[in-house]
Structure formats: C-alpha cells, structure tokens
Chain A
Amino acid sequence: MAMSALSPTLSDNGALVERHWQELNLRRRTYTFIGLALLVMALSGSLWFANATNAGKFLDRLPYFFDFVGDLVPRDGAEIGRAMFDLPSPYDDGSLKYNYPEGRLYLTDTFYVPEYFYKMLETLNIAIFSTIFGMFFGFILCFFAARNLMPNPWVRGLVRRLMEILRAFPEVVIAGFFLAILSLGPIPAMIAVSIHTVGALGKLFFEVVENADMKPDEGLRAAGGNWIERVWFGIVPQVLPNFMSYFLLRLEINVRASTIIGAVGGGGIGEPLRLSISQGHEAKTLAIIILLFSTIIAVDQFSAWLRRRLVGDQAFQLAQ
C-alpha cells in the first residue's frame, strides 16, 4: 500500500505494470494464505487425532512429562560407574536392579568385558557389517541404474524399482521375519539393516554416477574398452570419494538404526536399554545412555573428519 502513494505520477504503462504487480502480489498472498490455512487445519486435525487415539491424554499426562528425569536419577552417582563397568553394588539386594556383575564376559579368568560395552560393540559391529554389505551390493547395482551407463530403460527401471522396494520395505518386518527363522540374536537385525542399506546407498550412488564426467568414459570407449573396463577405469575413480562419503554418512545412520532394531528384538544395546527403562533401573539406564551417546558422537565426529578429508566441505549435505 505504501507504493500506491507514489502512483499518481505513473504513466499509463507504469500504471499497468503497477496493477499487474498488485494482482500478482494478491494472488501470491491468497495462495500463501490458503496453504497456511490448510496446514493449520491438517495440523489441528492431526493433533486431535493423535490425542484421541493415545493411551494417555496430552493435558492429563503433561504434568508427568518430566517424569523420565526421575528415571535417570540413581541412588548415588557412583552407581552409574558400577553399572557401566559391572562392579558389585553396595545396595545389592539380589534384585535385577543391582545385579551389575552378572553378564560379565570373561576373556580370561580375571579379565572381563563389561556387559554393556560388549553389547555396544555388538551394535557397532552390526552397523559396520551391514554398511559394508550394503555398500558392496549398492556399488554393484548402482551402475545398472545410472542413465549414462545403462542405456536399456528396462534394466535401469527394474534395478531402480528393486532399490526403491529395498529402501521402503519396513526394516522391522525383515527383522521380524528372520527372527522367526533364525531365532534370537543380532543376525536378523543385520539382515534388516543390510537390505535397507543396499537400497538407500544404491540410490545415492547412482545419482553420483549420473553426475560423473563422461569424458574418461568416452576415451576408454574410443580405445575399445568394454563395459566393465569403462566403469572401472572411467567412472569409479571419479565417484569413489563421494561413495566413501555416503558410506560414512550411512554408517552414522546405521548405528542408530541398529540400536532401534535391537530394541525391537535383535541383539545389541537396544534390548537392555528398553528393558532397563521399562523396569525403572536408573543406574543401568543412565550407564547405557552415556555409552550410546558417546559412541554416536564418536562415530559422527570420526565420520565427519574422514569425509572432510575425502571430499572437502561438500561432504556436509545430509542424506538418509
């Protein structure tokens, strides 16, 4: 409206431009308004629905919101250390809450690995193994899905659909299915995370391949290189740093994913965490959380450092 104060001096053309601008502005504002109104409606509907179908109602439960902080206050601070390193507790009354020394994993007669460290290692190994596995198959598949290397649209489409399904298939179902066949243990979680990783990395990889410079490929083609030689000597050297960067990003994500799958039924740290939270074992919960927290930060930092070395600052686009 401030503009209209100047309008009397405008020529005919100027007025036309002015009017057109006003129209455009009005239309844009209307769209924004409609969009926002829809968003607010969807949001309030969603909130109402979530509240109505929840076990406890939001307003009733809000005073208990910070109850979990109470779940994290152990009897004394040293208990956390005892829980973490499986040392006997002075409060031991035979209950599950203070049976820290149980679950020690003796390597020799006197030297043992504390339970939670071992479980954390298990989770970490699940993540690393499945990321390597996923990288291997994603690496093979991605060249068949890239437009510039696979001219046949049927093969390309098939591989891409396959990756989409692998990516979108709920991990929890794969884990549950293999849990039924393989019985309890970390391997169902590994299979689930691996399968998802093949799809996720495959997609990121083929997008990198499609953006690759095709000149080395042309050179190899002119020199009579076959398809495998063209891929291996023309494309792979260009894309490998980016592949490694995505591999590391995926590793970060997989550490989290394998914790969650572990909580649902696989091995690793997730399961003791879920149990100790639901049973109210403060010291154990806190010990696990500290372990998990520091592991995740360590993996993130390591991967960020390595990625920065590999591809410079462009490594910081996030992908999942």
Chain B
Amino acid sequence: MTVGTMMNAAQMEAIAARHPHLLKGSSSKRIRSILIFAGIALYMIYSWWFFSIGQVLVNANWGIAGTYLADWVSYEVRPDIKIAADGTMQVVYPRFSPLGPNAKPEWVKIETKMVDRTIDVPVATQQVAPKKGSSFSFMAPKSAVGSSAEAGARTETRIEEVVSRATINFNRTTSIDVSDGKVAAKHNGETLLIDLDRSTGVTPEGSLPEWATQKRPGEKITLAFGMTGWADVDVEKISIHNRFPGWANFIFDTNSPFFNKSFGEVASLIVSGDRLDPSRSNLSLAWNNILYNSEWQHLDVWTKLLQTIVMAFVGTLFASIIAFPLCFLAARNITRNGVLNQVTKRFFDFLRSVDMLIWALFFTRAFGPGPLAGMSAIFFTDTGTLGKLYSEALENIDDKQREGVKSVGAAPLAVQRFGVLPQVLPVFASQALYFWESNTRSATIIGAVGAGGIGLKLWEAMRTNSDWENVCYMVILILIVVFIFDSVSNLLRSRLMGQKTH
C-alpha cells in the first residue's frame, strides 16, 4: 500500500516505450483491417454501379408507395360526381364499392330538385330499340322510351329528379361542395373555389393552395388531403377518393344478407330471427357467408396457411426420420468404413446443395401445384442438412459412455442405444425443432413458385396491386403462426437441452 498506484506521465511513457507491441497493434494487422474495410467499401460502390441502384431509386414511383402502404390498413370509397352538359349532376358508386349497392353514406349530402331536362337521344339507341329486351342490348331500356323510327338524332324533354348540390365531408376540416358548375373545396381552413366550364375547362379562383395541383390551365385539378383521401376535379366528373381506416367488409361481403348489420342485429338474427334462407339455419348461413367472403376469402386463406404449416411439419419430420439412421453411417466414429462415410456425406451435401427451389420446381412438375410438392422439397433439402448436422453431432460425442456399455458385453445395437443415443437425442430433437420453425418461414417463399401454401396466394394478391389489405391480413396470420411456433420450439428446445439455446 506504500507504493502509489498513480503514475506520472513520464512513467507511463516509459512503460509504453518498453512494451510497444502491447500498446500498438502490429502494423500488418492494422493494414489488413484497413484493407478489408476498403475492400468492402469498394465492393459496395461496385454493387451500386452493377445494379444501378441510384438510378432505380430515383426512377421509382415513390408517390404510389404511400398509397399502397395506406391500402394495407385502410380502404377507399370512390363515388363519382358526374356533371352533365346542362349542369345537372349524378352521384355514382362503382360496381364493387365496399358500401354495397344502394349506398347512402352520411358523409355525402345530396340536394335534389325536379327539373325539365332536354336529353339527346342518340341515333344508336333508336336503332337498338326494336331489339329491346334481348340480352344483347346494353342500353338502358328507359332511354329508348318513346323513340320512333325517325332517322337522325333528336332531343326530348322530360321531368327528372337530379342532384343540384352535392357536399362531400371528408372530415371536420375537409369538404368538397359542388353546385352550379362551381366547386368549393375546404381543407385545413383554406378554401379553394374552382369554376367548371365546358369551354374553358377547370379554372381555380385565385392561386392554388399547397394541397391542390394542376398540370396545365384548364386541365383537371387534383386535391390531395393526405390520409383522408383525395379528389380529381374535372369538367365532367369529380372523382372522390375518401379513405377510411380499417378493413372493409372483413366479416360479411356486400352480397351477404348480413351485410351492413350491427353485431347485435346479426346476433339476434342468428338466435331468434326468421330464416333468411329457408334451406338452412341463420347460423350456418352466417358462417358460410364468412367463410366464402368474396373479398377476403377466409376459408381459402386459412386452408393455404394450414398447408404451409403442414408442409413444414411433415417435411421436417420425414427429413429427421430419414436422416436419423443415415447419420450413423456418415459418422466416422460409429461406422468405421471410410468409403461408406464419404458416400453418405456427399449424398447429404448433394441434397443440401441442390437448392430447395430446384426441388420445389421439380416436385411441382411431379405432383402438380400443392402442398405435396412443397413438402417433398423441404423433405429432400432438410434430409441433407439434418443428416450433416446429426453426423457432426455424433462425431463429437463422448466416447466413454460407449466404451462403458461395450465393456459389459452389450450387443452392437445396444451399444448405440445406451451408449450413444442418450447423448445425441436431445441435440437431434432440438435441431429438428429448430428446422421445423425455420421451415415454416421458408415454406412461405417456395409456395410462391407453386409449391403450395400461402405463398402463391400472397403473390397473387400482390400482383394485382389493389389487394394490399389482403396481403396485410395474410402477413398478420403468418406472423402470428411464426411467433407461436417460435415460442413453442424455443420452449421445447430449452427443456430438451436443459438450458437456453438459440
């Protein structure tokens, strides 16, 4: 304790001078690490050029990315306000609107009035008119009423109920009001007035606020309201895209008799209501409507998900069953035959190195698309991987137990059973469980090439670029399954190995 632990600077320098190799790394080591980093940096620059990443990222359609992402968790309702030449309007919903037919949402306020309208009756209508009623006529029968055999276009006048004013309320601060060829759009306290005129086109009054864009004077104006939606204002048509959070019609689709009913109404219909379909109970009708929901296809999604699970389960189980006896042949301390060891090991390598993709493509040809193909692909690849791992585990066993069993005169099979198996079985089971879990993930991908499971369904939903909410639904299901399997397999493995493993 008499010697102070504090050193002055000179002492420290003296120590540093005496042991330079301890305080400064060897120069070759330093240069090597610098070289490695420089190499990696150079490689990244090369890849950037090789894939022309910068260019692709610049040319990408980032504007649409936001919409696609928003589609995951929300949906749009798209009414169109059509403006006829005489200024009368119509509010039209597309055919597959999530609101179903005869929609009268609260956020669309309509004022109607009765007017005398002069309507052009095109020549074509008159010629088609005699065929009225046949399935080939695409014209509405009403417009042909009163037509005669006169040649040439003509007009007729009748009294009709038309929309004179339409107000779309996106939310409290955002609304679009259309009447008399004028559009008043309000957003965040700003108001934009737009004149619609057939001859001069679309003209804003005053300057455009930030949320409105017009490419050329007279052309359509796009109003972007962020997450609440957007609208295109043109002379003849105003397209409204009103976005709502959530998934539309997740339980019942628009064709179902239970559509648009509250939970209480559905429950009371099921419990005590009259039969909606005389041939079956309301409960079975409701369940059937849920399963065959045309938008969400619950039954199909669940079936495909189960296929994915089954593929991983059966593939891994068979792989471990086949790899189990073979690994004894491959381990050089169990089978003392170099040729046999090498043949088995190379066989494992072969199965492993032919990619799971290649196996999947071949078996899809053999069995047709479906889980059998994916199952076989996982089985073939994993027989190789598990075989390799198992034989490595066998080669690392403690020989003393085996010698002990051998020394009491046990038969060769008993030596393996009591001298080897107890050591490796937990390892084997743990590795099989680990692959079961990781295969559940990879089974999703090979499904996309046709080998069954949810992969193909996911891929198809993505290809249309309009079903992102279905993609989200399937991703959530997959994540749930993966997390459950992850924890089950972790739990089982830590019990098997008697400690936390990864």
> What distance in Å separates the Cβ of A28 from its nearest Cβ neighbour in chain B?
13
A177 B462 Cβ-Cβ under 8 A: yes
User: Which residues of chain B are within 8 angstroms of A68 by Cβ–Cβ distance?
Assistant: 362-363, 365-366
- Measured CB to CB, the nearest residue on chain A to B500 is A207
In the assembled complex, A254 has its CB within 8 A of some CB on chain B:
no
In the assembled complex, B438 has its CB within 8 A of some CB on chain A:
yes
Binding-face segment, A52-60, A78-86, A99-107: A52-60
Neighbour of A185 across the interface among B56, B367, B486, CB < 8 A:
B56
Known interface pairs A42-B313, A260-B355, A273-B361; A168-B367 also in contact (CB < 8 Å): no
- Measured CB to CB, the nearest residue on chain A to B372 is A54
A182 B56 Cβ-Cβ under 8 A: yes
Binding-face segment, B59-67, B225-233, B268-276, B282-290: B59-67
Known interface pairs A53-B303, A181-B60; A296-B355 also in contact (CB < 8 Å): yes
In the assembled complex, B479 has its CB within 8 A of some CB on chain A:
yes
Binding-face segment, B122-130, B188-196, B451-459: B451-459
User: Which residues of chain A are within 8 angstroms of B317 by Cβ–Cβ distance?
Assistant: 39, 43
A168 B486 Cβ-Cβ under 8 A: yes
Known interface pairs A64-B366, A259-B355, A264-B448; A50-B371 also in contact (CB < 8 Å): yes
Report Cα–Cα, A42/B312, bound state, in Å.
Answer: 13
User: Which residues of chain B are within 8 angstroms of A204 by Cβ–Cβ distance?
Assistant: 502
> What distance in Å separates the Cβ of B376 from its nearest Cβ neighbour in chain A?
9
In the assembled complex, B50 has its CB within 8 A of some CB on chain A:
yes
Neighbour of B449 across the interface among A47, A177, A182, A263, CB < 8 A:
A263
Report Cα–Cα, A55/B442, bound state, in Å.
Answer: 21
B455 A172 Cβ-Cβ under 8 A: yes
In the assembled complex, A318 has its CB within 8 A of some CB on chain B:
yes
Q: Mark A259-300, 1 if CB is under 8 A from B, else 0.
A: 111011100001001100110000000000100110011001
Report Cα–Cα, A278/B365, bound state, in Å.
Answer: 8
- Measured CB to CB, the nearest residue on chain B to A255 is B355
Q: Mark A121-135, 1 if CB is under 8 A from B, else 0.
A: 010010011001000
- Measured CB to CB, the nearest residue on chain A to B454 is A170
Report Cα–Cα, A264/B57, bound state, in Å.
Answer: 21
- Measured CB to CB, the nearest residue on chain A to B381 is A256
> What distance in Å separates the Cβ of B478 from its nearest Cβ neighbour in chain A?
6
Report Cα–Cα, A320/B356, bound state, in Å.
Answer: 15
Report Cα–Cα, A179/B65, bound state, in Å.
Answer: 11
B370 A273 Cβ-Cβ under 8 A: no
User: Which residues of chain B are within 8 angstroms of A165 by Cβ–Cβ distance?
Assistant: 479
Binding-face segment, B39-47, B78-86, B405-413: B39-47
B65 A169 Cβ-Cβ under 8 A: no
> What distance in Å separates the Cβ of B395 from its nearest Cβ neighbour in chain A?
10
In the assembled complex, A234 has its CB within 8 A of some CB on chain B:
no
Neighbour of A61 across the interface among B57, B362, B368, B385, CB < 8 A:
B368
In the assembled complex, B203 has its CB within 8 A of some CB on chain A:
no
> What distance in Å separates the Cβ of B365 from its nearest Cβ neighbour in chain A?
6
Report Cα–Cα, A181/B389, bound state, in Å.
Answer: 41
A186 B303 Cβ-Cβ under 8 A: no
User: Which residues of chain A are within 8 angstroms of B445 by Cβ–Cβ distance?
Assistant: 170-172, 257, 260-261, 264
Q: Please tell me the number of chain B residues within 8 Å of chain A, measured between CB atoms.
A: 73
In the assembled complex, A109 has its CB within 8 A of some CB on chain B:
no
Neighbour of A172 across the interface among B435, B459, B465, CB < 8 A:
B459
In the assembled complex, B341 has its CB within 8 A of some CB on chain A:
no
A61 B444 Cβ-Cβ under 8 A: no
In the assembled complex, A180 has its CB within 8 A of some CB on chain B:
yes
User: Which residues of chain A are within 8 angstroms of B438 by Cβ–Cβ distance?
Assistant: 320
A54 B365 Cβ-Cβ under 8 A: no
Q: Mark B29-71, 1 if CB is under 8 A from A, else 0.
A: 0000000000010011001001101001101111011001000
Neighbour of B40 across the interface among A65, A132, A261, CB < 8 A:
A132
Q: Tell me the chain A residues, 24-58 only, with Cβ under 8 Å from chain B.
A: 39, 42-43, 46-47, 49-51, 53-56, 58
Report Cα–Cα, A293/B448, bound state, in Å.
Answer: 22
User: Which residues of chain A are within 8 angstroms of B357 by Cβ–Cβ distance?
Assistant: 256, 259-260, 263, 270, 273-274
B371 A293 Cβ-Cβ under 8 A: no
Q: Mark B270-310, 1 if CB is under 8 A from A, else 0.
A: 00000000000000000000000000000000010011001
Nearest 5 pairs of A and B residues by beta carbon: A54-B370, A55-B368, A56-B368, A176-B462, A68-B362
Q: List 27 A-B contacts (CB under 8 A).
A: A43-B313, A43-B317, A51-B372, A54-B373, A54-B452, A55-B367, A55-B369, A56-B368, A58-B372, A129-B43, A132-B43, A168-B482, A171-B445, A173-B462, A177-B68, A180-B68, A256-B357, A260-B446, A261-B445, A263-B449, A274-B357, A274-B361, A296-B353, A296-B355, A318-B385, A318-B389, A319-B502
**Chain A residues at the B interface, C-beta cutoff of 8 Å:** 39, 42-43, 46-47, 49-51, 53-56, 58, 61, 64-68, 71, 122, 125, 128-129, 132, 164-165, 168-173, 176-177, 179-183, 185-187, 190, 203-204, 207, 256-257, 259-261, 263-265, 270, 273-274, 277-278, 289, 292-293, 296-297, 300, 316, 318-320
